[in-house]
Amino acid sequence: MKNKLTLLFAGLVALSQLQGCAVALVGATAVGVSAAQDPRSIGSQIDDQGLEMAIGKVYNQTPALAQENISVIAYNRNILLVGQVSEASLSRQAEEIARDTDNVDKVFNQLRVGNQVSATTSAHDAWLTSKVKVSLFNDDDFDSSNVKVVTENSEVFLLGKVTEDEADKAVAMARNIDGVRRVITAFTIVDHH
């Protein structure tokens, strides 16, 4: 009986290790697919991630900002700041830090003064982001890979490099999603792709 239990335990340990590999493989594949579908070059994606990390690090090391709810989203060296801060001066300070960071082209400060959103609100925001992404993806005449969607407290933020017509279409589709309070753009407008 002891040998059977040992064998069963060893089998479960081995199985759990295989599941970990599967999760890692699926995660790595998802990251690879996401990077491949992004119209930015791999270098631009890495640069944007570096900007997000650098700015976030400064916020975490700044006592006045460390406890605030600030998300930094970089797209083509443009920075979108979303979240909540306890007072307007902190919003200005966060914007100044982002603006003074090397290689930042433009800062879209959409921080709101107020209490941090709840976990329920964050979950609802994730749901709204998914709904907007699906709406953009399902339109055969629209290349959804050109648009990054971020939602904070039912406000949808759209980033990317798009034509004027694509920007108008993306805004219209996002506005038609039930639960979206407001749509704000942080697009870079181009003549064509």
CB 137 within 8 A of CB 125: no
- Tell me the domains of the chain and their CATH numbers: 42-113 (3.30.1340), 119-189 (3.30.1340.30)
Q: What is the mean pLDDT of residues 14-35?
A: 43
Q: How far apart are CA 28 and CA 152, in angstroms?
A: 27
Chain segment 44-79, per-residue pLDDT in tens: 899 999 999 999 999 999 999 999 999 999 999 999
The CA R_g of the chain, rounded to the nearest whole Å, is 21
Q: Which two tokens stand for residue 1?
A: 């009986």
Mean pLDDT of 21-25: 40
Q: What is the pLDDT of residue 11?
A: 46
**Two tokens at 185?**
């753009």
**Interstrand relation of 78-85 and 147-152 (parallel, antiparallel or unpaired):** unpaired
Q: What is the mean pLDDT of residues 94-109?
A: 98
Q: Which of 98, 13, 100, 91 is nearest to 52 (CA)?
A: 98
Is the pTM here over 0.85, yes or no? no
pLDDT confidence bin for 16, thresholds 50/70/90: very low
The pLDDT value given to residue 39: 78
More confident residue, 193 or 91: 91
How much is the average pLDDT of 135-139?
Answer: 96
Residue 160 has pLDDT above 90, yes or no: yes
For residue 99, give both structure tokens: 């603006």
DSSP three-state, residue 99:
helix
pLDDT at 37: 65
Contact partners, residue 186, CB within 8 Å, separation at least 6: 75, 78, 80, 108, 157, 158, 159
Which pLDDT belongs to residue 38?
78
Q: If you ran DSSP here, which 8-state letter would residue 44 be given? A: H
Q: How far apart are CA 44 and CA 75, in angstroms?
A: 8
166-174: long-range contacts, CB 8 A cutoff, minimum separation 24: 166/142, 169/139, 169/141, 169/142, 170/136, 170/142, 173/132, 173/135, 173/136, 173/139, 173/142, 174/132, 174/135, 174/136, 174/149
Is residue 1's pLDDT more than 90?
A: no
| Confidence at residue 28, expressed as pLDDT on a 0 to 100 scale | 38
More confident residue, 38 or 117: 117
Of the given ranges (13-27, 115-129, 140-154, 163-177), which has the lowest mean pLDDT? 13-27
